[in-house]
């Protein structure tokens, strides 16, 4: 046991194309109590739109972040952890070699997970956001280098929600941001054109779409500030009815609400995020749209919680 209260502590890291996220928590009641959370942006996948290997400077930045995260895990006396690598390491020819370097330097053993596992963990992170009355929800996990889509069949009981028909698109906001505008549109149109019709249709009840992306949440919030409405919480924005119609109209008008963003890279990323958000909303025409700043690390904590509650406690005699 690892805390003064005798509760086991869990840690999860999501190593993405643009960001690296850490979450540490312990069991509390029927859920988890978050002890520490951090997002860094070492931009591991920087330049992968133009080459097939990781940039050495980006790799060093990421190693420095992960070295610090490893110390934080030790300082919090975490006993169980899962560390997840995604599209940047899948795409780069030296991605697996980089993860070996990470293990040698920090002791952290990362898993290079497939898109289906990304979709499952993203779904776990947004279970409380599923709306009543929708038998199916389309989950869209928008990362820096890829987009995972999965239908979620909830039947009104979020605990029973299951993802199925997972599709992975090899396009993300960081990859798009490194391309000229015309190439962005061409790549985005080609990749979104691969979404099967079965994932686009919501049936008689309409389609609920939940987008998991920090960048797209920032885009949606800026649209809301421009007058599109919506119900905003600390880490997500919900749009439906007249609010969704206003946002759809604003997206159709191709707004550019990012003036004043200090870094060119930030402005390019937000503009790419706007393109993705516009394409999703106009292409899918959801009846309800939720954009959330959740991640694979959040979903992994949910998975840890479920697993821990199903296992016998130490000293129970089981």
End-to-end CA distance of the chain: 17
The sign one gets for the Cα dihedral 165, 289, 15, 305 is: negative
Residue 68 belongs to what H/E stretch? Answer: helix 56-75
Q: How many domains, the chain? A: 2
266/141 same-domain check: yes
162/273 same-domain check: yes
CATH number of residue 60's parent domain: 3.30.420.40
User: Alpha-carbon distance 181 to 190, whole Å?
Assistant: 14
pLDDT score of 315 = 36
Contact, 254 vs 219, CB < 8 A? no
Eight-class DSSP state of 166: E
pLDDT level of residue 260 (50, 70, 90 thresholds): very low
Q: Which of 67-76, 133-142, 229-238, 303-312 has the highest mean pLDDT?
A: 67-76
pLDDT score of 233 = 72
Q: Which two tokens stand for residue 252?
A: 């159709």
221/161 same-domain check: yes
pLDDT score of 306 = 84
pLDDT score of 317 = 38
> Whole domain around residue 163: which residue ranges?
127-293
User: Alpha-carbon distance 285 to 34, whole Å?
Assistant: 35
pLDDT tens for residues 296-308? 999 999 999 888 7
Q: Considering only residues 266 and 4, tell me which one the structure prediction assigns the higher pLDDT.
A: 266
Lowest mean pLDDT among 58-67, 174-183, 287-296, 304-313: 304-313
Q: Considering only residues 105 and 318, tell me which one the structure prediction assigns the higher pLDDT.
A: 105
The interaxial angle of helices 115-125 and 296-310, nearest 10 deg, is 80
β-bridge mates for residue 72, sequence order: none
Q: Considering only residues 164 and 296, tell me which one the structure prediction assigns the higher pLDDT.
A: 296
Contact, 140 vs 118, CB < 8 A? no
Residue with tokens 């119900």: 231
Q: Is there a domain that residue 315 lies in? A: no
268/133 same-domain check: yes
Residue 85 belongs to what H/E stretch? Answer: strand 80-85
Q: Considering only residues 207 and 70, tell me which one the structure prediction assigns the higher pLDDT.
A: 70
Whether the per-residue pLDDT at 258 is higher than 60: the answer is no
Q: Is there a domain that residue 3 lies in? A: no
96/165 same-domain check: no
pLDDT tens for residues 234-247? 899 999 888 888 88
Q: Is there a domain that residue 316 lies in? A: no
3-state secondary structure of 109: coil
Mean pLDDT of the chain: 86
| Strands 136-142 vs 110-112: parallel, antiparallel or unpaired | unpaired
Q: Which of 1-10, 128-137, 195-204 has the highest mean pLDDT?
A: 128-137
**pTM for this structure?**
0.87
274/305 same-domain check: no
pLDDT score of 4 = 47
Q: Is there a domain that residue 318 lies in? A: no
Alpha-helix runs per DSSP H in 76-114: 87-91, 95-106
pLDDT level of residue 27 (50, 70, 90 thresholds): confident
User: Alpha-carbon distance 158 to 210, whole Å?
Assistant: 14
Q: Is there a domain that residue 246 lies in? A: yes
pLDDT level of residue 230 (50, 70, 90 thresholds): low
Q: Considering only residues 239 and 181, tell me which one the structure prediction assigns the higher pLDDT.
A: 239
User: Alpha-carbon distance 189 to 216, whole Å?
Assistant: 18
């Amino acid at each position: 046991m690892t805390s003064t209260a005798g509760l086991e502590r869990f840690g999860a890291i999501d190593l993405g194309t643009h960001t690296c996220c850490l979450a540490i928590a312990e069991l509390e009641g029927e859920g988890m109590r978050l002890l520490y959370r951090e997002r860094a942006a070492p931009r591991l996948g920087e330049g992968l739109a133009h080459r097939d290997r990781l940039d050495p400077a980006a790799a060093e930045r990421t190693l420095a972040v992960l070295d610090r995260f490893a110390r934080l895990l030790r300082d919090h006396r975490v006993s169980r952890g899962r560390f997840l690598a995604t599209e940047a390491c899948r795409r780069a020819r030296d991605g697996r070699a980089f993860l070996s370097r990470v293990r040698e330097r920090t002791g952290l053993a990362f898993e290079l997970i497939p898109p289906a596992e990304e979709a499952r963990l993203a779904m776990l992170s947004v279970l409380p956001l599923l709306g009543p009355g929708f038998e199916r929800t389309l989950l869209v996990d928008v990362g820096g280098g890829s987009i995972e889509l999965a239908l979620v069949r909830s039947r009104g009981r979020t605990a029973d929600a299951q993802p199925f028909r997972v599709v992975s698109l090899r396009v993300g906001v960081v990859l798009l941001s490194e391309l000229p505008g015309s190439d962005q549109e061409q790549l985005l149109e080609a990749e979104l054109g691969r979404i099967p019709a079965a994932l686009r249709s919501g049936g008689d009840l309409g389609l609920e779409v939940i987008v998991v992306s920090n960048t797209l949440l920032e885009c949606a919030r800026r649209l809301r500030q421009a007058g599109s409405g919506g119900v905003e919480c600390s880490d997500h924005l919900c749009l439906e009815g007249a609010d969704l119609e206003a946002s759809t109209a604003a997206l159709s008008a191709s707004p550019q609400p990012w003036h004043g963003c200090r870094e060119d890279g930030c402005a390019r990323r937000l503009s790419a995020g706007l393109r993705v958000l516009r394409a999703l909303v106009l292409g899918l025409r959801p009846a309800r749209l939720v954009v959330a700043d959740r991640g694979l690390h959040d979903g992994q904590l949910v998975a840890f919680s479920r697993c821990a509650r199903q296992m016998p406690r130490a000293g129970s005699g089981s």
